[in-house]
Amino acid sequence: MVDVSLKQVDDPARLTKVEFTNLDKVLYPELGITKAQVIERYIRLAPKMLDLLGKRPITLTRFPSGLAGEGFYEKDTPMGTPSWVDRFKRYSETAKREINYVVCNGLDTLIWLGNMATLEIHMTLSTVDSFESPDLVLFDVDPEPPTTNDDLINTTLMLKEKLDALGIKSYVKTSGKKGMHVVIPIIAGYTFRQTRDFVHQIGKMLTKESEMVVSELPRSRDAGTIFIDYLQNSHGRTMVCPYSLRATSKATVSTPIDWKDVKKGLNPAEFNILNVAKIQENPWRDLMKNKQKLVVS
């Protein structure tokens, strides 16, 4: 017997605290996309994602066995969450209990989310610093078939013009599902009731300009309508974060777009895991530097 002492050395390639598991698990069966590819995309998109995500509680949609298996929505920090993952504890009015949210404020946390097969990351419209008051206003432009892509684009542009006319700079992204998200960064001091009312009012104004637009929830599922959904502007409610994947068979991504590219022929479903990381510029780069006042009437 040769006595040999074993010494554990750290792999120099180890750049993350995350222990990768089941990297070859297929998460998007239709495209054959594995967990390794999902994590890789999140790593590549991280510089664009983390600025906005970093200070917000998030909720997750996870598919541990891929889209072919069961998926679930998770608000609470999951069991076995590493101690280095930051959390934010707050009473949730919708869940009627205390929630221990995950806060994704670093690359390692984003990688960890990917390793847990998190396909969707949803973030609140306020930050941990002032959770009760929003710093983002969300217009969820939500079409109902048989509307076309061009109908959706037209309505989204109508909304932009309305906001432009009020002197408000807005930002747009695909939802990654059917619709478009238009977002306004705002200065501190507003309440969710105020932002919600603001979005609702703009929606009502748009109904006067287009037969297709509806501003009230009961009509939102009528065939051929486009609902300006204002309801997510509430305490604890969330929006899918920019560059989050969606749990769709085509692995679509909620993708920020420059307004100049929002025009006839744009197909929001084209933005997916395979092409989004290749886009160089981030149209939302200066979003948090453009906090604005809302005209609340």
Partner 1 sequence: MEEQVRVPRRPIWSGSITIGLVNVPVKLYSMVFDRSITFKFLHKIDGSPLKYQKVCVKEDKVVPWEDVVKGYEVSKDQFVVFSKEELKAARPESDQRIRIDKFVDYLSVDPIYFEKSYVVAPNKSNDAYSLLLAALQKMGKAAVGRITLRTKEYPVLVHAYNGALVLTTLRYAYEVADPKNLEEINGLKEPKKEELDLAKKIVNDLSGEFDITDYQDTYVQKITELVRKKTNGETITVERPVKEEAKELMAALQETLKQLKKK
Binding site for partner 1 (CB under 8 A): 1-2, 4-11, 13-16, 20, 23-24, 34, 36, 39-40, 43-44, 46-47, 50, 107, 111
CA distance 150 to 22: 41
The sign of the CA dihedral 131, 133, 139, 140 is positive
Closest distance between partner 1 and the C-beta of residue 51, in Å?
9
Shortest distance (Å) from residue 118 CB to partner 1: 16
Take residue 56 and report the two structure tokens written for it.
């917000």
Least Cα distance to 255 among 180, 184, 185, 155 occurs for: 180
Comparing CB distances to partner 1, the nearer of 157 and 274 is 274
Say if CB 78 and CB 87 are below 8 A apart. Answer: no
**Shortest approach of partner 1 to residue 182 CB, angstroms?**
27
* Least CB distance to partner 1 at residue 273 (A): 13
Closest separation in Å from C-beta 251 to partner 1:
17
DSSP string, 56-83: SEEEEEE-TT-TTS--EEE-SPPTT--T
Select 7 or 264, whichever has its Cβ closest to partner 1: 7
- Pick the closer one to partner 1 by CB: 53 or 141: 53
Residue 121 near residue 241, CB atoms below 8 Å: yes
Question: Which C-beta is closer to partner 1: that of 45 or that of 138?
Answer: 45
34 versus 149: smaller Cβ distance to partner 1? 34
